[in-house]
Structure 1
Amino acid sequence: MSIKQQKFDSNFYTKLNNLEQRFYQQEADKEDLEQLVLSIGELVMFYDLKKDPIKQYFLEKMQFILSRPFTLLNLKDQKALNQNKTPLTHRHQHNFSLPVLKLEKQAQVQSDLNNSFEKIKVMQEDYEMQQRDQEELIHHDIDNQMSALKKKIIIRNQNRNNHNHVNHSSKFVSNSKLSDTKTSDEEQTK
């Protein structure tokens, strides 16, 4: 599998982590050490192709592993290691240079920052969508209220016109009766 096709998934990193733990506990055999160095080498090549400075971290990790007496003895001759099995002091800390540790920390901070920006963007989009929904709801409600108000005004005007028409008709009838009465009174007085 070529480097371009290599997927560095969780299985890859789990195996790498297990190999490192075996190395730190000095339980790794020659095959484990070879696999550990090859895996780290793949990461170095991958990040080198991407021009990513994190490759320096993996280079120093490889140098650290290859510089340990346990590794040298184990890779040189497995039989010699079994015959001369003396406890080798080993620190469980990496002796990486400060710039590499800075790069590692910067990469972590940048990753966290990118995640934060993505979360903020999603929250902002959600807020804008909710705001649009609220505005649409308000406009719909206002339209409904205006429609109901216009209907009430139309009904009121119709009722007023009908009432005025009835009053006007009754006044007309009353006035005509009054004038008829006046005419008959005038005729009687003559």
Structure 2
Amino acid sequence: MPTPDLLHRALHASGPRPLPDEAARLLRVLGAPPRLAAHLRLVHDVAHELTAWLAGRHPALRLDRDAVLFGAATHDIGKTTHLSELSGPGSAHEKAGQDLLLAHGIPPHLARFAATHATWTLPGIGLEDLLVSVADKIWKNKRVPELEDLVVRRLAEASGRTVWEEFLEFDDALTAVGEDAEERLAFQAAHPV
């Protein structure tokens, strides 16, 4: 188990925006590995950038920004119980994360992101879920065209603009976010598993 000092450093080191207080508290209570805390800060930071960009480009868009930010800050919290998934593949952390959040009093509409961040094609997936998924990919400059296309279609439906227009703007925004991937990867790597 990591020392509280290492977790504290991951939660408070200069760099990405701090996590919402409730997310940081949960990570401390669960004894989260520092690498996980660093990763969640990075994805939360990118989600902040994406939602700010959307607010500027689509001010009339109905979006629960706070839910996106909390979802990004806790999407992998199930890895506190599935430690092997911190450095390897696996999806057991998804349902486990949702269950952990619910057990700690987090409302279902916020806990859902732990289960939906890797399953963006399920029925009932909202734009908020898609944005958490995009943030979880683009922080390291990983592009997932089918995921991005789902977001673009939602934006086109909301704005009345063409899919192509929305694609061009969203692609530019993701390209800009992706340019800082090396710094983000270095920040994450600086914190032990």
TM, length-normalised to structure 2: 0.24
Structure with greater contact order relative to length (CA < 8 Å, sep ≥ 6): 2
Bigger helix fraction: 1
* Structure of higher CA gyration radius: 1
